Amino acid sequence: MTMRADVAGLSFRGRTASIGFARGPFIRISAGENRARTAGKPEDEALALREATRSAAEQIAELATAAGGEAAQILEFQVALLEDEDFMHPIFVDIGNGHAADAAWLSALDAQIEDYNSADDEYLQARSSDLADLRDRVLHILRGGERQAPKIPRGAVICADDLPPSRFLEIDWSAGGGLALLRGSPTSHVAMLARARGIPMVVQLGSLPDGATALLDGESATLELDPGAEQIALFERRREAHRKSRASARAILRRPAATWRGEQIRLLINIQQVEDLDHADAQYADGIGLMRTEFLLSGPGGMPDEDTQYRAYEAVLRWADGKPVTIRTFDAGGDKPVAGFTPDGEANPFLGLRGLRLCLARPDLFKVQLRALARAATRGNLKVMFPMVTVPAELEAARALFAQAVADLQAEGIGAMLPELGIMVEVPAAAMAIGDFKAAFFSIGSNDLAQYVLACDRTNGALGNLIDPLHPAVIELITRTAEHGRRAGVPVSLCGDMASDPACVPQLLHSGLRELSVNAPSLAQIKQTIDRLSHGGSGG
Under rule CB under 8 A, how many of the chain's residues touch other proteins?
Answer: 28
Piece in contact with other proteins (CB under 8 A), picked from 170-178, 273-281, 327-335, 336-344: 273-281
Return the bridge partners of 4, or none. Answer: 11
CA atoms within 13 A on the CB side of 165: 31
CA-closest candidate to residue 164, choices 129, 122, 116: 129
Minimum distance, C-beta of residue 480 to other proteins, in the bound complex (Å): 42
Is 189 among the catalytic positions? yes
With vertex at residue 515, the alpha carbon angle to CA 513 and CA 517, rounded to the nearest 5 degrees, is 120
Question: Can you say whether the dihedral through the CA atoms of 299, 300, 301, 303 is positive or negative?
Answer: positive
Q: Which is nearer to other proteins, 110 or 335 (CB)?
A: 110
Q: Which is nearer to other proteins, 31 or 82 (CB)?
A: 82
Binding flags for other proteins, 472-511, as an x/- string (CB under 8 A): ----------------------------------------
Q: Please give the DSSP secondary-structure letter assigned to residue 181.
A: E
Which amino acid appears at position 122 of this protein? E
Is 159 among the catalytic positions? no
Minimum distance, C-beta of residue 318 to other proteins, in the bound complex (Å): 8
Q: Is 81 a binder of other proteins (CB under 8 A)?
A: yes
Minimum distance, C-beta of residue 81 to other proteins, in the bound complex (Å): 6
Indicate which residue of 189, 359, 484, 504 is catalytic.
189
Q: Is 124 a binder of other proteins (CB under 8 A)?
A: yes
Question: Can you say whether the dihedral through the CA atoms of 17, 22, 28, 30 is positive or negative?
Answer: negative
Q: Is 426 a binder of other proteins (CB under 8 A)?
A: no
Which residue in the set 23, 99, 127, 383 belongs to the binding site for other proteins (CB under 8 A)? 127
Question: Can you say whether the dihedral through the CA atoms of 13, 17, 22, 26 is positive or negative?
Answer: negative
CA-closest candidate to residue 159, choices 186, 181, 133: 181
Which residue in the set 55, 73, 220, 248 belongs to the binding site for other proteins (CB under 8 A)? 73
Indicate which residue of 159, 359, 456, 495 is catalytic.
495
Q: Is 86 a binder of other proteins (CB under 8 A)?
A: yes
Q: Is 274 a binder of other proteins (CB under 8 A)?
A: yes
CA atoms within 13 A on the CB side of 13: 6
Cα–Cα dist 287/326, whole Å: 8
User: Do 144 and 36 contact (CB within 8 A), yes or no?
Assistant: no
Which region, left, alpha or beta, applies to residue 345 given φ > 0 means left and ψ of -120 to 50 means alpha?
left
Which residue in the set 259, 308, 447, 507 belongs to the binding site for other proteins (CB under 8 A)? 308
Which residue in the set 246, 311, 399, 510 belongs to the binding site for other proteins (CB under 8 A)? 311
Q: Which is nearer to other proteins, 32 or 90 (CB)?
A: 90
Q: What is the dihedral angle through the alpha carbons of 420, 421, 425, 426, rounded to the nearest 10 degrees?
A: 130
130-149: contacts with other proteins (CB under 8 A) = 130
Q: What is the dihedral angle through the alpha carbons of 43, 44, 49, 55, rounded to the nearest 10 degrees?
A: 130
Q: Which is nearer to other proteins, 60 or 495 (CB)?
A: 60
Minimum distance, C-beta of residue 123 to other proteins, in the bound complex (Å): 5
Which residue in the set 32, 50, 114, 123 belongs to the binding site for other proteins (CB under 8 A)? 123
180-199: contacts with other proteins (CB under 8 A) = 189
Q: Is 319 a binder of other proteins (CB under 8 A)?
A: no
Taken as a whole, the chain contains a residue count of: 540
CA atoms within 13 A on the CB side of 531: 17
Q: Is 74 a binder of other proteins (CB under 8 A)?
A: yes
Query: In 372-529, at which residue ranges do the beta strands (DSSP E only) sit?
Result: 382-386, 420-425, 442-444, 492-494, 515-519
Distance of CA 201 to the CA centre of its chain: 19
Q: Which is nearer to other proteins, 74 or 159 (CB)?
A: 74
Residues labelled as active-site residues: 189, 495
Q: Which residues bind other proteins (CB under 8 A)?
A: 73-74, 76-77, 80-81, 84-87, 112, 115, 119, 121, 123-124, 127, 130, 189, 274-275, 278, 299-301, 308, 311, 315
